[in-house]
Amino acid sequence: MEIILKAMLYGFLKVAQSYKKSFEKDLECAAQKNDQLLMEIIKKNAGTAYGKKYDFQSIDSPQKFKKTVPLTQYEDYKEYIERMAKGEENVLTSEKVEYFGVSSGTTGNQKLIPVTKSSRKAISRYMGLLTQGVLYENLSNKWTYGRGLNLIGMRGSGKTEGGIPICAGTAGGMKSMEKIFTYIWTTPVEVLKQGEKFDVNYLHLLFALMDRNLMYLSAAFIPSILDLLRCLESKWADLVEDIREGKISQKILLSDDLRNKLQKKIKPNPKRAEELEREFKIGMEGIVTRIWPKCAFIWSVSGAGFKMYLEKVKKYTLDLPIYCGTYAATEGLIGVELGLNKATYVAAPKSVYYEFIHEDDWEAENITTYNLEELRVGEKYEVVITNNAGFYRYRLGDVVKVVGYCGKTPEFEFLYRKNQLISINAEKTSEQAVHQATIETFKHLGIELIDYTVVADIDISPGRYVFFVEVNNIEKLDKNKVEKILESKLGIANPRYEQFRKSMKIGHVSLELVKPGTFDSLKVLLVSKGASRNQVKIPRVVNRDDLVSFLKSNTYSAEVKSYIKIS
């Protein structure tokens, strides 16, 4: 079986390498390929309700498309999506909706995003084939055809009134691959289907630790990898004991049915348990490649606001390469990373039709959009897409910075979401600016930052920024000093903030220290309100009343604050 599996994977890699070469050719004529995709989408959907409203039949060029069809946001589609959810067809797209993907639910109400066969395949070609081609090209000398530990689950969230499945975007695309999971990932499919009901990280680790030849760790975002490795650090003794005895700890709450199914997949392995125990007793630094000697990379998005988590992950992984893979949303795939440790992405001309809005035009009445070949290196743009699932000239709200060109195709870095801005008096401080100021402040002070978020407090006048912060060495913290440095760093990151502070239009920064584990509990809260466990992210700017109340309830009491220096 192992020989057959390797032969199958070898054949898949050959196809992946061929696809990568084809993709590289597309990069030399990206604008042409992208225009062709747009015209195919317009022609295919001319008979839909949306296509008739905007006379798709008369559109014969990208230029006319831009003149005829308005820029859109999600609110523009709500009525159409409600009709589709009830089962009505030919509304936004001529294709049947395979499922509705849901947004992560981190920053606000979840959105239903239609996914069709064409839009799913447009993503899977890049996520499945192209990424494998990139990885093999960079890691061929370390390639073992081993399995990986994948934290992405596939639990659905029910169905719409019209019977259409609802699930996280990643889960929907994975259902078609279910038969091969056993051969490519260590976690049993029964666990992947369970969602958020138990300590799933423990089970991920248990089955991965039994496989000494594990080749990689994978998760949607790097904070999930950090959570996994912290679970490993705190529960390694239980995991070793379970492997030694061939059981699942009773501390892990499972249904009898699931426990019995999983128990059949586990056999006692004292030799492996002894090897693991020996390595764990040495310490956690560089533990990943000591317990999995053939682990070659981590596959997870790690750029932009995730850099602080990546630094913590490196304690366990040292110099193990990080591959971000793709920059994607449920609405479509936006870019592909063509190297390791870069966290930059090259546009994929056959995935979605691209337009970009320069940062100077975001609030303009008459907005000009730019195509792939018209972007300027070093400039910031909002991404606009037209996809194969019924979204036309859709403003994603994602802000990217162009770092260069690959052939004639832009390469960009994801910076932040536009809706993750904090603003008291039109100063508009971005998530990126907040992150830069916070990280630099705590680095300067030599205090380990666990996590943070910021809230616009307008209950006082003038309004102010309140930072909710969790740190590891609270005894070193001088509250006034932190606030003073944060003020300075914010002014550097956003000069308008400094200007408004000097004119007293914004109040002084306030620091609130939260109890240990607060941000872990915040993630649990977000999951309970509908966010996917595998995609949940700590929002850097919080504006939801329920989340603000939660943060306030987890600040230190006055008694604890009394021993923190305030002078």
Which helix H or strand E contains 402, and what residues bound it?
Answer: strand 394-406
Q: What is the predicted pLDDT for the residue at 562?
A: 37
Distances (CA, A) of 368 to 63, 298, 350, 437: 12, 39, 23, 32
**Residues 464 and 552: beta-carbon distance below 8 Å:** no
Q: Is residue 565 over pLDDT 50? A: no
Among 49, 45, 73, smallest CA distance to 59 is for 45
Encoded tokens for 497:
């903030």
Reported as a pLDDT band with limits 50, 70 and 90, residue 473 is confident
Sign, Cα dihedral of 164, 167, 169, 172: negative
- DSSP assignment of 252-312 equals S---HHHHHHHHTT----HHHHHHHHHHHHH-STTHHHHHSTT--EEEEE--GGGHHHHHH
Q: What is the predicted pLDDT for the residue at 527?
A: 81
Q: What is the predicted pLDDT for the residue at 359?
A: 92
Q: pLDDT per residue over 256-311, tens digit each?
A: 999 999 999 999 999 999 999 999 999 999 999 999 999 999 999 998 778 888 98
Comparing 197-211, 226-240, 294-308, 421-435, which segment has the lowest mean pLDDT? Answer: 421-435
Q: Is residue 564 over pLDDT 50? A: no
Q: Is residue 173 over pLDDT 60? A: no
Q: Which is higher by pLDDT, 561 or 243?
A: 243
Prior bond to 293 cis, omega within 30? Answer: no
Q: What 3-state DSSP class applies to 149?
A: strand
Q: pLDDT per residue over 113-170, tens digit each?
A: 999 999 998 888 898 889 999 999 999 999 998 999 998 776 666 899 999 998 865 5
Reported as a pLDDT band with limits 50, 70 and 90, residue 539 is confident
**Residues 33 and 25: beta-carbon distance below 8 Å:** no
Q: pLDDT per residue over 236-268, tens digit each?
A: 999 999 999 999 999 998 989 999 999 999 999
Q: What is the predicted pLDDT for the residue at 559?
A: 39
Q: What is the predicted pLDDT for the residue at 125?
A: 86
Sign, Cα dihedral of 165, 170, 173, 176: negative
**Residues 171 and 158: beta-carbon distance below 8 Å:** no
Angle at CA of residue 230, ends 146 and 564, nearest 5°: 160
Among 149, 190, 192, smallest CA distance to 167 is for 192
Q: How many CA atoms lie within 13 A of 219 on its CB side?
A: 23
Comparing 66-75, 192-201, 372-381, 384-393, which segment has the lowest mean pLDDT? Answer: 192-201
Reported as a pLDDT band with limits 50, 70 and 90, residue 41 is very high
Which stretch, 36-45, 181-190, 305-314, 490-499, has highest mean pLDDT? 36-45
Instruction: Classify strands 409-417 and 394-406 as parallel, antiparallel or unpaired.
Output: antiparallel
Among 407, 395, 393, smallest CA distance to 348 is for 407
Q: What is the predicted pLDDT for the residue at 105?
A: 53
Q: What is the predicted pLDDT for the residue at 486?
A: 95
Average pLDDT of the chain to the nearest whole number: 89
Reported as a pLDDT band with limits 50, 70 and 90, residue 420 is confident
**Residues 211 and 276: beta-carbon distance below 8 Å:** no
Using CA atoms, how far apart are residues 191 and 187, in angstroms rounded to an integer? Answer: 7
Instruction: Give me the mean pLDDT over the 366-395 stretch.
Output: 97
Task: Express as a percent the part of the chain with pLDDT over 90.
Answer: 67
Reported as a pLDDT band with limits 50, 70 and 90, residue 365 is confident
Q: What is the pTM of this model?
A: 0.86
Using CA atoms, how far apart are residues 433 and 499, in angstroms rounded to an integer? Answer: 15
Q: Can you give the residue ranges of every domain in the chain?
A: 2-23+119-323, 26-114+351-417, 421-561
**Residues 322 and 302: beta-carbon distance below 8 Å:** yes
Distances (CA, A) of 9 to 23, 95, 184, 344: 21, 32, 9, 27
Q: Is residue 424 over pLDDT 50? A: yes
Using CA atoms, how far apart are residues 407 and 214, in angstroms rounded to an integer? Answer: 36
Q: pLDDT per residue over 88-117, tens digit each?
A: 999 999 999 999 988 755 555 678 999 999
Among 342, 353, 452, 466, smallest CA distance to 404 is for 342
Q: What is the CATH number of domain 421-561?
A: 3.30.300
Which helix H or strand E contains 192, and what residues bound it?
Answer: helix 189-192
